[in-house]
Amino acid sequence: MRRRQFLHLTAGAAALPLLPRIAAADAYPNRPVHWIVCFAAGGPNDIIARVIGQYLSDYFGEQFIIENRVGAGGNVGMQSALASPPDGYTIVFVGPNNAINATLYEKLPFDFLRDSVPIAGTMRLTNVMEVNLTVPANNVAEFIAYAKANPGKINFASGGVGTSPHLSGELFKAMTGVNIVHVPYRGTAPALTDLLAGQVQVLFDNLPGSIGHIRNGKVRALGVTAPKRVPALPDVPAIAETVPGYEASVWYGMAAPKGTPPELIDKLNLAVNTILADAKVQARLGELGGESMPMTPDGFGKLVADETEKWAKVVKFAGAKVD
């Protein structure tokens, strides 16, 4: 009898350390959560974070405060986020730059895959390959032929070295063998301005930034970088229809500092996936040229790891480096 009592008491004692964690998860969040976005206000990262952040605030009844901490291709904000206490009250916006920067920057003060915990995916959208109206190409095949007939004479713009649009162009070069010259700008807006003016001939841009000009006939869209056509531009083929295997989707999600309790990660993941299932949220993301991307924490972590490996090869092909 005493043995049974001992085992019962021992089992109860073993469960005691779990009680505070369960209670903390049940109470979370009981104060504002800070969501660090590593790029400037008004950009696609910021816009998406504010859309999802508002719904998270409504879902939990606590504010999700967007904090823009910019610099070094997103590394300044990421370093700050990963150095924060792992208590669930600091989360960080994650995008392709985190996968690209792992190879692009020779010396980073953090290792994103090692020092973060994935929470959830939020949205997937596409880049679009577009040309100035004077370029004699109406589709990807014609552009490849034109570029091969004029090696080194066609300039492609991007918003900066190592950005998703830049690497989309480098991947296109690697897979087609064309010799087009990269011209980096300090942001996509001036790159688009020079495309419209004919100073550069081709641009790979995030769809939300260019869709208005495409619809107004100011630039010609040749293909989207997603693996298939997108509802926002149903008549524009995927580049993969001409270049099999080409894919350079833009994806967004969120992570937390390593050590954040799994109970809080799971609670945030459930909230995000519930929000992404809402028809109003899906419609809003559709207006921005994307689609919802619900994922488990492990699923999103695998996506980031796979993308890090993929873009490492493209960065090395391009010879791109940032100190």
Instruction: Kindly report the CATH number assigned to the domain that includes residue 65.
Output: 3.40.190.150
Q: Are residue 160 and residue 201 in the same domain, yes or no?
A: yes
The pLDDT tens digits of the residues spanning 146-171 come to: 999 999 999 999 888 888 889 999 99
Whether residue 217 lies inside any domain: the answer is: yes
Model pLDDT, residue 130? 97
Q: Are residue 255 and residue 115 in the same domain, yes or no?
A: yes
Model pLDDT, residue 104? 93
Q: Are residue 39 and residue 103 in the same domain, yes or no?
A: yes
Q: Are residue 148 and residue 197 in the same domain, yes or no?
A: yes
Cα of first residue to Cα of last residue in the chain, in angstroms, is: 70
Q: Are residue 185 and residue 292 in the same domain, yes or no?
A: no
Whether residue 80 lies inside any domain: the answer is: yes
Whether residue 33 lies inside any domain: the answer is: yes
Angle at 207 between CA 74 and CA 238, to 5 degrees: 115
Whether residue 1 lies inside any domain: the answer is: no
Q: Are residue 30 and residue 168 in the same domain, yes or no?
A: no
CA distances from 279 to 139, 268, 284, 289 (A): 34, 19, 9, 15
Whether residue 2 lies inside any domain: the answer is: no
Q: Are residue 223 and residue 301 in the same domain, yes or no?
A: no
Q: Are residue 229 and residue 81 in the same domain, yes or no?
A: no
Q: How far apart are CA 136 and CA 142, in angstroms?
A: 8
Q: Are residue 80 and residue 147 in the same domain, yes or no?
A: no
Q: Are residue 111 and residue 154 in the same domain, yes or no?
A: no
Look at residue 222 and give its three-state secondary structure: strand
Q: How far apart are CA 191 and CA 197, in angstroms?
A: 10
The pLDDT tens digits of the residues spanning 74-85 come to: 899 999 999 999
Q: Are residue 20 and residue 120 in the same domain, yes or no?
A: yes
R_g over Cα of the chain: 22
Average pLDDT, the chain: 90
Host domain of residue 102 = 7-125+250-318
> Which of 191, 208, 241 is a domain's end point?
241
Bridge partners of 253, per DSSP, are 94, 121
Q: Are 224 and 127 in contact (CB under 8 A)?
A: yes
% helix, strand, coil for the chain, step of 5: 50, 20, 35
pTM: 0.81
Q: Are residue 119 and residue 215 in the same domain, yes or no?
A: no
CATH at residue 139: 3.40.190.10
Whether residue 31 lies inside any domain: the answer is: yes
Model pLDDT, residue 1? 44
Mean pLDDT of 226-255: 94
> Which of 209, 241, 273 is a domain's end point?
241
The pLDDT tens digits of the residues spanning 163-217 come to: 888 999 999 999 999 999 999 887 788 899 999 999 999 999 988 888 889 999 9
Which H or E run includes 121? Answer: strand 116-125
Tokens 């869209």 belong to 221
Number of domains in the chain: 2
> Which of 181, 215, 241 is a domain's end point?
241
